[in-house]
Amino acid sequence: MRLTPIVLALPALLGLAGFGQQTVFRARADIVAIDVAVSDGKKPVLTLTKDDFELRDNGVVQSIADFDREKLPLDVTLTIDLSGSMNQAKIATIERAIGQVGSSLGDRDRCAIVSFTSLVSEQRPMLSPPLSPKLAVKARGGTSIVDALLLSLVTEPRTDRRQLGLMMTDGEDTSSVFDLQTTIETAKYANRQASFVIVRDGDTLMDGRMLTLFRMVSSTTGGLVIELQKGDDLSNAFLAAIESFRTSYILRYKPTTLAAKGWHDVDVRVKKGGYTVRARRGYFGDR
């Protein structure tokens, strides 16, 4: 999935054509790619065809030019809360979950690991598996969830890979400098899907503002919010988020709406079945 309409030059278009798409692309065209996850209850629906979807861009039904699933490799960035509330046992659980993620990735997939306390640190750059689950833990006061999330939203637009940002936290922000409004606004431009795994610790209550932020950013980018209670399996949550992303459909279209510039609302429906559809809510046109 990507955020802004991608201006595809001819070589890139030829590259896309190499995936067997049915549409003949023009040399200069704004192509929008939208990730769409469809589920029936908790079960993903994997048998749909292009004609089963209806996609509206600013209220106007679009012709879906290209459609595929599980063809492009994944770039997964795990953003891990390593603040003081994460003790050794929790860190061991996180490392096990990272190991599981590593095992689930394909040869062409890649994974980066970023951690945060009051600062954000790159633990591992974006590389193919195998990945070492060991985390370098440095004590530092504070938890800057909003700052870490804002930084995680800045990634390059790519047509050859799909990008998932998966943030794990207990949701207690104590030291962020940036505000929710700036972060939510930035999510509209994000080139990746942002999903969240919230680990609640026993009787702790989560900051309601953080939950609102996670829900808004995930719905803007088409991501998920998974809330874990004490005893729930973190590895399963990571794998579920990645699998949901991996098995989602990619719908590509050339917008026919008049105003290319500015925010475009995107609404995707499946014509049959009463399924649950999850897709990003829109994008910024830049031309």
Partner 1 sequence: MIGEVRRLTFLAVLMATTTASMSLIAQGRGQLVPSMYITRINEVLADYAAGNDRAVDTWLRTRDGQQGVAFLERVFAPPAAFSRPKAAFLLEVAVWMQGVNPRKIAALNLGRRMFLGRPEPLGVNADDDRFEILWHQAALGLLQDNDSPWQQQEYLDGLDMRLEDAARRNVKLETRFPLARAIAAGNICCRPVSRNVYVDEQPSTRPRPTFESAVALYTRAAAEPPLRDEAMIRGAALQLLTERPAPALEWLDRAAGKQDDQLLHYAQSFIRARALDLLGRPDEAVNAYQAAREDAPSAQIPAIGLAAALLRAGRADEGVRVAAQARQLPADAPDVWLQFQKADSRFVKGWLEEIRRMRK
Which residue, among 280, 285, 48, has the nearest Cα to 165 in the 3D structure? 280
Q: How far is the CB of 121 from partner 1 (least distance, A)?
A: 5
Nearest to partner 1 of 128, 182 (CB atom)? 182
Q: Kind of pairing, strands 60-61 and 53-57?
A: antiparallel
Binding site for partner 1 (CB under 8 A): 4, 85, 114, 117-122, 138, 140, 143, 147, 150-151, 153-157, 172-175, 177-179, 181-183, 185-186, 189-191, 207, 286
232: DSSP letter: -
> Quick one: 17 or 120, whose CB is closer to partner 1?
120
Contact 148, 119 (CB under 8 A): no
Pick from 237, 81, 53: nearest CA to 149: 81
The nearest distance, CB 173 to partner 1, in angstroms, is 7
Three-state SS at 57: strand
Q: Which lies closer to partner 1 via its Cβ, residue 210 or residue 225?
A: 210
The least CB distance from residue 75 to partner 1, in Å, is: 12
User: Which residue pairs from 96-101 have beta carbons closer than 8 angstroms and sit at least 24 positions apart in sequence?
Assistant: 96/133, 96/234, 96/235, 97/133, 97/168, 97/234, 97/235, 97/237, 97/238, 98/131, 98/133, 98/135, 98/238, 99/133, 100/235, 100/238, 100/239, 101/76, 101/131, 101/235, 101/238, 101/239, 101/242
Residue 66 or 173 having the CB closest to partner 1: 173
- Residue 270 bridge partners (DSSP): 53
Report, in Å, the least distance between residue 270 CB and partner 1: 31
Q: Which is nearer to partner 1, 70 or 189 (CB)?
A: 189
CA separation, residue 24 to residues 14, 185, 207, 210, 254 (Å): 9, 34, 49, 44, 11
Closer residue to partner 1 in complex, CB, 140/161: 140
CB of 253 to partner 1, least distance (A): 21
CB of 277 to partner 1, least distance (A): 27
- Burial degree of 150 (CB within 10 A; 0-12, 13-18, 19+): buried
Of residues 102 and 157, the one with the C-beta less far from partner 1: 157
Shortest gap between Cβ of 235 and partner 1 (angstroms)? 25
